[in-house]
Amino acid sequence: MLDVLYETRLKSLPLLARGKVRDIYAVGDERLLIVTTDRLSAFDVVLPDPIPGKGAVLTAVSNFWFERTEALVPNHLLDVPLESVLPDESERRQVEGRAIVVRKLQALPVEAIVRGYLIGSGWKDYQSGGKVCGIELPGGLKLADELPEPIFTPSTKAEVGTHDENIDFDRARALLGSELAAQVREVSLSIYREAARYARERGIIIADTKFEFGVDENGRLVLIDEVLTPDSSRFWPEDQYQPGTSPPSFDKQFVRDYLETLDWDKTPPGPALPAHIIERTASKYREALKRLTGMELEPDRV
C-alpha cells in the first residue's frame, strides 16, 4: 500500500503554519518540527493530488545536502530524536521519515536563486531584454544553454497562492542590507558550484536551484527549509541534455509541462492530476534520490 500524507493531524504540538508542502509545528519556544508532506505545488498553487512518497524523498535529499554543505554554511537541523518531541507512537508513525527538528530562526524575506543554465523565468527575461534579474548576459544564447558563470537571481517570497517576484541585487540589498545580501549571494553560489560538480559526476545537471536562509540571535547566516531537492531545483539527465530544447527532468517540471497543456489560468484551485502523471512523477523523484545519494526508500514508504 502506498504511503501518502497530504496533511498532518498532530494533536500534541501547536500547528504554526501549513505551507505549500510543509506543515510546521512549535516545539517549545526555540524549536520547530517541520513535516514535509506529499503535497505538490506548481506555479505557486497547491494541487489537489499528492505524490506518494514525495515528502520522504525530499526529506532524505535535503538531509543529505545539509550534511554535505555544513562546511560552507551552518544549517538549522538539530540532532534531536523524533521520540523526544512526539512520544505518541501513532503521531510519530504519521510523520516518520518526513519530519525534522530544527532551530527556530528569523527567516530572510528573499529567496536565494542560483541559475547555471538559461531556462524558466530566466529564459523569458532574457528573451525580452537580454538580462536576468538585471544581470546582462551575452547575446545569442539558446534555451537551456549553460551560462558562462552561475548567476545569483533573488526573488521575493510569495504567500501561498501568489507568485514570487524576481528582483535585482539592488532590491535584495534594500531588503537585507548590503553586507548580508553579499553574504547570501556568495554562500549561495558556493553551494551551487559544489553541488553541481557533485551531481554532474552522477549524471545529473542542476540547472538552477533555490535556497532559503535565516539568521540566528547573533545575526549569523543559517541555511534553512530544504536544499537542492527536486522541488527546489531543476535536475536534468546529463545524457539527454541538448541546448535549444527544454530537457526532460527529475523534478516537478514534468508536472508543470503537463499543466501547460491544460486550459488552466494558474490560479487556485489547481486541476486534478491523472494517475499516470502522479506515478511517473513519483518515479522521477525516487530516481533523483537514488542517483544523488545512493539511497532507496523502503517499499512501504514509496
pLDDT of residue 266: 92
Average pLDDT, integer, range 22-38? 97
* Average pLDDT of the segment spanning 85-94: 96
Farthest CA pair distance, the chain: 59
pLDDT (average), residues 62-70: 97
Which architecture, in CATH terms, is 107-254? Answer: 2-Layer Sandwich (3.30)
User: How many Å apart are CA 74 and CA 78, to the nearest integer?
Assistant: 11
Contact yes or no for 302/295 (Cβ under 8 A): no
pLDDT of 253 strictly over 90: no
pLDDT tens digit sequence for 116-161: 999 999 999 999 999 999 999 999 999 999 999 999 999 997 665 4
Which residue spans of the chain are classified as CATH 3.30.200.20?
A: 15-104
What is the pTM (predicted TM-score) of this model?
A: 0.92
Model pLDDT, residue 43: 87
Angle at 211 between CA 65 and CA 214, to 5 degrees: 100
Q: What is the pLDDT of residues 214-230, one digit of tens each?
A: 999 999 999 999 999 99
Which part of the chain has CATH 3.30.470.20? 107-254
Q: Which CATH number fits domain 15-104: 3.30.70.1450, 3.40.640.10, 3.30.200.20, 3.30.590.20?
A: 3.30.200.20
